[in-house]
A and B are shown apart, each in its own frame.
Chain A
Amino acid sequence: MTEDQPASPAPGATASTLLALARALYPHDRLPDGPYERAVALLAADAAASAELSALVAAGAAEAGAALGDPAAATAEARTAWLESHQGEPFFAFVRERICFHLYDDREVWQLLGYPGPSYALGGYLHRGFDELPWLPDPRVVESDEPLVELGPLDPSVASAASAASAASAAAASTGAEATA
C-alpha cells in the first residue's frame, strides 16, 4: 500500500496497543513509526469487514493492553513475552498475518530494505545490473557436455566432492551459531 493510502484508523487505545504489538512482532530499528501505523490502520480496516473480526481484535487488544499496562511504555521483552504466550490463538494469528502482509507491502519499507518494486518502466535490469555479482566468477550458462547420469550413483570424483561439501555444511550447521527455521 502507498504511504498516502487512506485507511480507517482503529480507535485510540486499540490502535496504540496494536502499534506496540506490531513493533514487537516485526522489530526493525531502522523503520520509523509510519509504516507500522499504516499497517495497523489497514489491519483495522480488514477487521472492520466483519463484526466477528472486529470483536476479536477489540477483545485481544484490550487483553494485551490490560496485561501490559501502557503497551507503548512496556519493555520489548514484556511485549514479546505476551505475544509468545498467546501464539496459536485467533487474535495472534490474525494480527501477525495482517501485520506481516501490510508492513512488507509498504513502499517506505521497501525503500528502507532495498526492494525497488517494479522495473518495467525503467527498462528492467537488462542494462541495470541483472548480471552484476562482482564477488563470484562468471559461471557457465549452457548445459554441460558431460553425459548426465540418469540411473545409479554419480561418478566417484563428483560424489566425493559433493559429500565432502555436505559434511562441511553439516559441521557448520552443528556449531549452533545459526538457527534454522
Chain B
Amino acid sequence: MRHYELDDADVAVIVGSGPGGASLALRLARAGLDVVMLESGRWIDPEDFVDDERIAFAQLSWLEARQATGGWTLARDFPALPAWNGHAVGGTALLWTGLTPRFKDHEFRTRSSYGEIAGASLADWPIDPAELAPYYAESERAMGVSHREGRPPMPANTSYRVFANGAERVGYRHYATGPYATNVEPYDGRPGTIQDGFNSQGDRRRSKWTPLVSEIPKAIATERFELRPESHAVRITLDAAGRADGVEYLDRDGVLRRQRAALVAVAGNAIETPRLLLLSATTGHERGLGNASDHLGRHYMRHTTGVVYGQFPDEVHMYRGENMAGIVADESRHDPERGFAGGYYLETISQGLPSFTTFMEPGGWGADFTARVEGYTRTAASWICGEDLPQPGNRVTLSSTLVDRWGLPAPEVHYDDHPNDVAMREHAYGRVEAMFRAVGAERVWRAPAMPSGHNLGTARMSADPADGVVDPEGRVHGVPNLFVSDGSVFTTGAAANPTLTIMALSLRQGDRIVDARRRGER
C-alpha cells in the first residue's frame, strides 16, 4: 500500500471508511488524487468474522459512550446505545443487510410536496433528482444489487414466503426480494450467497457488498491511497485563510498526530460527523465548523420504525437465509388520506435467538414472554422503515458529563417523535398485523425501535448557508475545501433505506471535486 508522510500537504484526507467515505476515496484515487483515509476502527479480515450475534456485536460495533435522551423509546430501552454503528474498516456496512431502494422524486422536494407541517423543518433538497439518476445506477452496479441490469433476483427464503403471501392477501402488489446488495451469483470477484444468515455479523463469505471487500481493496490497488485503521480523528484544523489544512488524530497507541491535507471529507456517520465538526470549533467558527447558522447537529432523523412479529401454527425458521431480503413498497407513497405525510416500506427481518429475545419486547419477562420465545421457530417478523420528519430540536450535541475512551465529550442524541411519525408508525403496525393474520398468524405483537441503523440529517444540505451546513455538493458552508460525505447531509430522510443514496451522493461529490481540480480550483 502507498504511504504518505504526515506533512505531505497535497493529500485528500477522508475520515471514515464506510460506504460514504470509501466510495469517495475510490473515486478520487482513480482520478489521480492522493488519498489518506483515517478510520477509527480496526481492520478485520472477513475470515475473522464470527457467526455469533453476541461475539460479533462486540467485535464490530461502535461501543463508545453515547447517551439517548428525549421521548423516543430508545431513551428508555437502550439509553446508552441510541444507534447501532460499525467501528471497523467498512463501517456500518459490516452490519447492514443490503436493501437498496432509491428515493422517489417527490421525496427530494418534501416541503413542496407535503406543504408546511407544524413542528417539522421540512425543506426541499437543493439538487435535481434527475442528476442523481446515473449515480444511482452506478451505485447499484458497484454493490452488485440484485435484479438490476440483468443480475438475478434474490430467491425467496422462508421469511419472505410468509411476508409476500401476506402482502398479496391484503391486496398489495409491490412486494419483491429486493433490490438487495448481496450476490445471488458470483459477481465482481465475490461469490454468491449460501443463504447462511448472519448478514449483520460481517458476512464471512463476502457475498454481501461492503467497502471492506470492494472499494477499500480497489482503492489500495490504485497506489494512490493509504488506509490508516485505528486512527481516530479528533479535530480538523484550518489555516489563516479559513481553509481546512489538516486533521489531528489519535493513533492506535493514543499518540496525537496531524496529517496535513489539501482537502478534508468527513464520513463518520450522522452522530460522529457533527461531533467532529463541533469539536473542531476555532476562532471564527466558535460554534463548530459549518455552524454559523446553528443547524449543525440538528434535524437528526432515524426513520420511523418498529417491528411486528407474527407467530404461526407451522414452522418458519426465520434464521435461514438472507436477513432482510423482502420489501413491500405499496405504502411508500405520499398519501395524506392515511392521516400522515410521507410513506414507509415494510421489510422482512430475521433474528437469531439472542437478538430475538433482546428486541421482541425490550425489558419483557414472565410466562407470556417465554411462551413467545418457545414459538421462536414459528415466528416471522417485519421491520418498518418510514420517513420521519426533521425537527430542529432532534439533535446531536456534545455531552457535558460523559466522555469517551479518548477523553472527548460523548455525543448526546436527543429525539422526540413528531405526531406525524406516531401516526405513520401506528398505520404501519396495523398493516403488518393484517398481513401476518391473512396468512394464519395465531398471534401478532408490536415491538419498539431497535438502536438506529439509519442516522441522518445532522449536517443538512442547503443552497443558502442560512438554512443548513453543507452546499449541494456536500461542501461545508464557509470552509471551501471541507466536505461531508455521509447521510448527515440528507435534507430530509425519505422512506428508503439510505445507503444507496449515500453512495450516489459520494460519487457525485467525487466527480465535482475532480472537475474543480481539473479547472485549477483548489
Indicate whether A and B interact: yes
Proximity string of chain B (364-391) to chain A, C-beta cutoff 8 Å, 1 when within and 0 when not: 1111111001101100000000000000
Q: Which 7 A-B pairs have the closest CB atoms?
A: A161-B171, A124-B196, A124-B194, A139-B164, A118-B51, A130-B321, A130-B195
Proximity string of chain A (135-165) to chain B, C-beta cutoff 8 Å, 1 when within and 0 when not: 1111111111010111111100111111001
- B287 at the A/B interface (Cβ < 8 Å)? no
Q: How far is the CB of A106 from chain B (nearest CB, A)?
A: 10
Contact residue among B113, B373, B440 (Cβ-Cβ distance under 8 Å from A28): B373
Question: A140 vs B113: C-alpha distance in the bound complex, in angstroms?
Answer: 32
> Which interface residue of A114, A139, A158 has the most chain B CB atoms within 10 A?
A139
Question: A121 vs B431: C-alpha distance in the bound complex, in angstroms?
Answer: 38
Chain A residue at minimal CB-CB distance from B318: A115
Interface-lining segment among A33-41, A60-68, A166-174? A166-174
Extra pairs beyond A120-B204, A136-B161, A153-B337 (18, CB < 8 Å): A26-B370, A27-B367, A96-B365, A105-B54, A115-B352, A119-B198, A120-B194, A125-B157, A132-B317, A133-B314, A137-B165, A139-B168, A141-B154, A142-B177, A148-B333, A150-B104, A161-B170, A165-B437
| Count of chain A residues near B, Cβ 8 A | 67
Given A104-B357, A113-B374, A143-B147; A131-B170 close (CB under 8 Å) = no
Which residues on the B side are within 8 Å of A124 (C-beta)?
193-197, 205, 321
Contact residue among A96, A113, A133, A166 (Cβ-Cβ distance under 8 Å from B353): A113
Chain A residue at minimal CB-CB distance from B330: A154
- Beta-carbon contact of B337 and A162 below 8 Å: no
- Beta-carbon contact of A118 and B171 below 8 Å: no
- A123 at the A/B interface (Cβ < 8 Å)? yes
- A32 at the A/B interface (Cβ < 8 Å)? no
Proximity string of chain B (3-32) to chain A, C-beta cutoff 8 Å, 1 when within and 0 when not: 000000000000000000000000000000
Interface-lining segment among B235-243, B291-299, B399-407, B444-452? B444-452
Chain A residue at minimal CB-CB distance from B430: A166
- B423 at the A/B interface (Cβ < 8 Å)? no
Given A133-B161, A150-B104; A139-B175 close (CB under 8 Å) = yes
- Beta-carbon contact of A151 and B373 below 8 Å: no
Contact residue among A116, A131, A152 (Cβ-Cβ distance under 8 Å from B319): A116
- Beta-carbon contact of B153 and A141 below 8 Å: yes
- A126 at the A/B interface (Cβ < 8 Å)? yes
Q: How far is the CB of A52 from chain B (nearest CB, A)?
A: 17
- Beta-carbon contact of B352 and A100 below 8 Å: no
Chain B residue at minimal CB-CB distance from A31: B370
Question: A157 vs B104: C-alpha distance in the bound complex, in angstroms?
Answer: 24
Question: A142 vs B445: C-alpha distance in the bound complex, in angstroms?
Answer: 29
- A75 at the A/B interface (Cβ < 8 Å)? no
Which residues on the B side are within 8 Å of A181 (C-beta)?
360-361, 364, 445-447
Chain B residue at minimal CB-CB distance from A30: B374
- B169 at the A/B interface (Cβ < 8 Å)? yes
Given A115-B352, A118-B51; A123-B194 close (CB under 8 Å) = yes
Question: A130 vs B184: C-alpha distance in the bound complex, in angstroms?
Answer: 13
Q: Which residues of B contact A (CB under 8 A)?
A: 51-52, 54, 104-106, 113, 147, 153-158, 160-162, 164-165, 168-177, 193-198, 204-205, 312, 314-317, 319-321, 329-330, 332-335, 337, 352-354, 356-358, 360-361, 363-370, 373-374, 376-377, 430-431, 433-435, 437-440, 443-447
Q: How far is the CB of A114 from chain B (nearest CB, A)?
A: 4
Given A119-B51, A151-B113, A172-B437; A144-B370 close (CB under 8 Å) = no
30 contacts between A and B (CB under 8 A): A28-B370, A80-B366, A96-B363, A104-B356, A104-B373, A109-B353, A116-B319, A120-B51, A124-B194, A129-B158, A131-B157, A133-B316, A135-B312, A135-B314, A139-B156, A139-B165, A139-B175, A140-B164, A141-B156, A141-B176, A146-B174, A148-B333, A151-B113, A152-B335, A154-B335, A158-B172, A162-B431, A165-B171, A169-B434, A178-B445
Chain A residue at minimal CB-CB distance from B158: A133
Q: How far is the CB of B179 from chain A (nearest CB, A)?
A: 8
- Beta-carbon contact of B162 and A133 below 8 Å: yes
- Beta-carbon contact of B160 and A141 below 8 Å: yes
Which residues on the B side are within 8 Å of A162 (C-beta)?
170-172, 330, 431, 434
Q: How far is the CB of A92 from chain B (nearest CB, A)?
A: 9
Question: A158 vs B155: C-alpha distance in the bound complex, in angstroms?
Answer: 26
Given A113-B376, A141-B156; A131-B161 close (CB under 8 Å) = yes
Which residues on the A side are within 8 Å of B195 (C-beta)?
124-126, 130
- Beta-carbon contact of B434 and A168 below 8 Å: yes
Chain A residue at minimal CB-CB distance from B378: A114
Given A124-B194, A150-B334, A169-B430; A25-B377 close (CB under 8 Å) = no
Which residues on the B side are within 8 Å of A105 (C-beta)?
54, 354
- Beta-carbon contact of B170 and A110 below 8 Å: no
- Beta-carbon contact of A140 and B374 below 8 Å: no
Which residues on the B side are within 8 Å of A130 (C-beta)?
155, 157-158, 195, 320-321
Chain B residue at minimal CB-CB distance from A161: B171
Given A96-B365, A162-B170; A180-B156 close (CB under 8 Å) = no
Question: A176 vs B161: C-alpha distance in the bound complex, in angstroms?
Answer: 28
Question: A105 vs B433: C-alpha distance in the bound complex, in angstroms?
Answer: 29
Q: Mark out the residues of chain A between 80 and 106 whose CB falls within 8 Å of any chain B CB in the assembled complex.
A: 80, 83, 96, 100-101, 104-105
Question: A168 vs B317: C-alpha distance in the bound complex, in angstroms?
Answer: 27
